[in-house]
Structure 1
Amino acid sequence: MEQFELLSVDRKTWLKGYHWPCEDPRAVLQVSHGMAEHVLRYQPLADYLNTQKIVMIGHDHLGHGASIHEDPPGYFHDKSVKHGLVQDLYQVTQWGQTKYPDLPFFILGHSMGSFILRNYLYEFGEAISGAILVGTGQQPVWLTRFGQQSAKLLGKIQGEKHPSKLIDQLAFGNMNRKIRNKKTTKDWLVSLPEEVAVYLADPNCGFLFTLNGYQELFSLIIRAQEPEEIKKIPKELPLLFLSGNADPIGEFGKGVMKAAGTYQAAGMKQVTVRLYEKARHELLNEAQKLTIFHDISKWMENISIK
C-alpha cells in the first residue's frame, strides 16, 4: 500500500489518500468510505481485489481519519464551499485516472460514502465505468429536512463545531430496535461481535459528528434523492446496489429497492440490486464478505474487464 496527498477544496486540509497497486491491473476501484470511519478499514477488500488484478484507491474524507486539519472530527467545511466532499471525491478520481489512464474505473461508496457518490454521479457520472452503492437507502425527505433544520438551528446556538449527541440520537437512536440480545449501541452495524469490538476499539471510528457535519450529511441525502438531479446521470452507466436485508439504513431491503427504482424510473438501463441474508449495515465486514468481494469483482469484470 502506498500513500498520497491532495489539497482539499477547503484549501487548508491535505486529504490522505491510499493506493493498493498490483501487477498487470485490469481495472481500478475507488472507495468512498462511510460516516465516522476511515478508508484503511477497507484493507481486506483491497487485498482481495489485488488477487483479481484490480487496483484499489481511496482517501479519508474531510473530518475523518488522517484528513483532519485544525477542525474537530466530523466537521467538513464552511458554507463558502459547495459540495466539498463530492469535489474531493472527484479529485481522487482524477489522481487515479492520471495514474491508470487506460483502465476501466469504478467507484464504491458505503453508507455516507454512497450518498456522496450518488451526488457525484450528477456532475461526474461520465468520468467512470460504473458505481457500486453499498449500505444506501431511500430516507424520508421530510424527516431528513427536519434533521437538517434542527442541526442548523442548534449550530447557531451551540456553534457549527459542536459534537451533537442530540442529533446523533435522533438519527441513529432506533437502529438497534430489531436486534435481540444486543450488547452494544453499535450492534446494528454488523452481526459479528468481534467486528463490532474492532470498530469500538478504533479511535478513528464512532465519533460524534458536529452540527456542521450533520447539516452537510442531511443535505447530501436530500439531494441524492431528487428525481430531477437523477435525470442528469448517464442512462447507460451501470449501477450495483448491495445491502444486507437486516440493515436498518436500507429499511431491511425495502429502502434499497426504492432507491434503485428511482434510477430505473429515470431511464437508467443497467441497475442491479443484491440483498444478502441476515447481513447488517457494514456489509463488507460481514460473515459472507468473501462472497460479496467476489460479487463486486465479477460485476466489474462482466461490465468492462476483458
Structure 2
Amino acid sequence: MLHEVTFQSFNQRDTVYGWIYVPAAKPKGIVQLVHGFGEHSRRYFHMIVKYLEAGYIVAADDHVGHGKTALENNTWGDWGEAGPHTMTEDEHRLKELVCEKYPKLPYFMFGHSMGSMIARDFIARYGNELSGVIICGTPGIFPIGDDVVAELDRLIADGKGAESDPMLTAKLMGWMCERCGEIKLGNEWICDDPYVQKDHAEDPFDAFTKPTANRALRDFIDMFRQINGKEWAEKVPATLPVYNIAGDQDPVGMYGQGVYQVSNWLAETGHDVRTKLYPGYRHEIHNYADLKEEVCAGVIEFLDGTIRKYL
C-alpha cells in the first residue's frame, strides 16, 4: 500500500509532499527516511523496498526546495525564511501524520548526509519519540570558511537572500572532490561508480546542480553548528540507540574522523552508539552495487535487534 500525504511546511509557505510505504504484511515498526542535500527521497527506493520486505513501514518526504516539493511549489533551492530548524520541524510533522495512521509501533529514523544532520537535530528535540536512529554519511566538525559566512550574511542583509551565488556553494563544498582523481561532473565525491554519478547528475528531481538560495545556504551552515559537540549530545536522550555508518573515504565525514567525532560525543555523554565504517567507499554507501545489500542488512539488523533488546 502507498499513501501520498501533504502538509504545510514549518516555513508557512510550501506544501510538503511525502509518502508512506506499507508492506503487505503485519508491520513490526516504522522507519522514517530523511534524504540529503539537493536530492529526493526516491533515490532511496532500493532501501525502501528492503525495509518493506523486512516488515517495516517506510515514511519519506521531499524537503522544501527539493524534489516534488520544490517542483510543485516552484521553489528549487529555496527553503523559505523560517530558519535552520525548518526541515526538522517538517520531519516531525510527517511523523505525526504517520503515527495517526499507524499508532503504537516502534518508530525509527534513518537520515543520510544532510538528512543525518536533520536527524541529529530531531533527536536533540524529539528523541524521546523514537525507538532508535540511524545516521549515515554524517559530518563532525566541517570546514566552513569565515569568508563564506560573511559574504552570505552580507548578501542576505542586502535583500538578496532569495538569490543565489554558485561560487559560494563551490567554496563551501568544492574541496570534497580532492581525493577523487579526474573530475568530470563535480559530484564524484558521492560514489566512484560513474553510473551513479551520471544518474545523480541527470535526475530531473535532483536539485544538486540547481542554484541554492543564499539564505538556504546560510541555514545549511547553521545546521552544522547546532548539532556539534557534547553540548548537542547531552540533549539526546541517553536511552536512544544510535547506529552511525559511513564510508571511510567519504569527505563529508572527513574520511572517518568526523564520523568518530560524532560517535565519541555520544559515547562520552553516556549514549548507546554503534559505529561502522566501510573501508574504501565514499559518501553514498547505499548506492554501491557491491555494498548496498550489506548496508541494508546492517540497518535491518539494528532495527530488529533494537526491537528485541529494548522494546
Same fold (TM over 0.5): yes
Matches within 5 A, 1:264-279: 264-268=267-271, 270-279=272-281
Q: Contact 1:145/1:222 (CA < 8 Å) preserved in 2? A: no
Identity in percent: 22
Structure 1 vs Structure 2 CA RMSD = 1.8
Matches within 5 A, 1:231-242: 231-242=234-245
SS in 2 for 1:5: strand
SS in 2 for 1:174: helix
Q: Contact 1:145/1:218 (CA < 8 Å) preserved in 2? A: no
1:47 aligns with one of 49, 60, 63: 49
TM-score (norm 1): 0.93
How far did 1:161 drift? 1.2
How far did 1:158 drift? 6.4
Q: Contact 1:31/1:109 (CA < 8 Å) preserved in 2? A: yes
In structure 2, how many angstroms separate the alpha carbons of the residues matched to 1:85 and 1:274? 26
The amino acid that maps onto 1:51 is: E
The amino acid that maps onto 1:249 is: V
Q: Contact 1:21/1:50 (CA < 8 Å) preserved in 2? A: yes
Counterpart position of 1:96: 98
Deviation sequence 1:174-233 (CA, Å, 0-9, x none): 111111244321111112111111111112222221111111111111001043232121
1:222–1:82 Cα change, 3 Å: closer
TM-score (norm 2): 0.92
The amino acid that maps onto 1:150 is: E
Counterpart position of 1:284: 286
- Structure 2, unpaired ranges of 5+: none
1:244 aligns with one of 229, 242, 247: 247
Q: Contact 1:248/1:281 (CA < 8 Å) preserved in 2? A: yes
Matches within 5 A, 1:135-174: 135-140=137-142, 143=144, 147-157=148-158, 159-174=160-175
SS in 1 for 2:267: helix
Counterpart position of 1:191: 192
1:128–1:263 Cα change, 3 Å: same
In structure 2, how many angstroms separate the alpha carbons of the residues matched to 1:144 and 1:93? 35
- Structure 1, unpaired ranges of 5+: none
1:82–1:170 Cα change, 3 Å: closer
Runs of 4+ in 1 over 2 A off after TM superposition: 68-72, 143-150, 154-158, 180-184, 226-230
Q: Contact 2:142/2:252 (CA < 8 Å) preserved in 1? A: no
In structure 2, how many angstroms separate the alpha carbons of the residues matched to 1:191 and 1:64? 24
Counterpart position of 1:78: 81
Number of aligned residue pairs: give it: 303
SS in 1 for 2:237: coil
